[in-house]
Chains A and B, each alone.
Chain A
Amino acid sequence: DVKVTQSSRYLVKRTGEKVFLECVQDMDHENMFWYRQDPGLGLRLIYFSYDVKMKEKGDIPEGYSVSREKKERFSLILESASTNQTSMYLCASSLVGQGLLAGELFFGEGSRLTVL
């Protein structure tokens, strides 16, 4: 069964802290994505990566960075957390053979981050 695993389901951090959200997929997928989900706004793309060490900005990259040192792992970093980054963060992956446009996104269960 395909699996996207996010390391923490719930995190509470203080303003200014550095936060790491980890995501691992076991499907040998080339593409990986980080989204944030907020009520009434749906899912918004923060960053994505189509290969190791490659990254592309999504719609709302400000305040975030990412790291992809291994194919199976994609990390989201909040250099200095702020209260407006309180949200649900979802990681996803997809198979490059289907292209970026078509094909299925496989999501993790999400990491709910609260910044106080």
Chain B
Amino acid sequence: LAKTTQPISMDSYEGQEVNITCSHNNIATNDYITWYQQFPSQGPRFIIQGYKTKVTNEVASLFIPADRKSSTLSLPRVSLSDTAVYYCLVVSNTGGFKTIFGAGTRLFVKA
């Protein structure tokens, strides 16, 4: 069963690129990797999802190496409004449907 591990917190400055890595060593063949953003007093919001290699959308990129045991969320040129908690999620149907969330990475963007 995949367990997701991510750093507890990270600091950055406005305009920098931020990379948050999540490890999921026991990920199974059919599992997907998704990242969510959460602001205080709100529910998580979808950022990006991938299965392998690289996925890019208008807000982020997701890098997944060939062994899929980790994934890296890349946020280009962060701003103060990107200060939030970022969750890595593995969605699995091995042995029953499961959503395995990491404990979250608190990103603090400074001016």
A19 contacts the other chain (CB 8 A): no
A92 contacts the other chain (CB 8 A): yes
List the B residue with the shortest CB-CB distance to A9. Answer: B41
Interface size of A by Cβ–Cβ distance < 8 Å? Answer: 25
Whether A108 touches B43, Cβ cut-off 8 Å, given contacts A100-B93, A101-B31, A102-B32, is yes
Q: How large is the interface on B (under 10, 10 to 19, 20 to 34, 35 or more residues)?
A: 20 to 34
Q: Are A105 and B31 in contact (CB under 8 A)?
A: no
Q: Are A42 and B102 in contact (CB under 8 A)?
A: yes
Measured in the bound complex, the distance between the Cα atoms of B43 and A58 in whole Å is 19
Whether A100 touches B103, Cβ cut-off 8 Å, given contacts A90-B43, A110-B41, is no
**Which residues of B are in contact with A by a Cβ distance under 8 Å?**
4, 30-32, 34, 36, 41-46, 49, 51, 87, 91-93, 96-99, 101-104
**Which residues of A are in contact with B by a Cβ distance under 8 Å?**
4, 33, 40-45, 48, 56, 58-59, 90, 92, 100-110
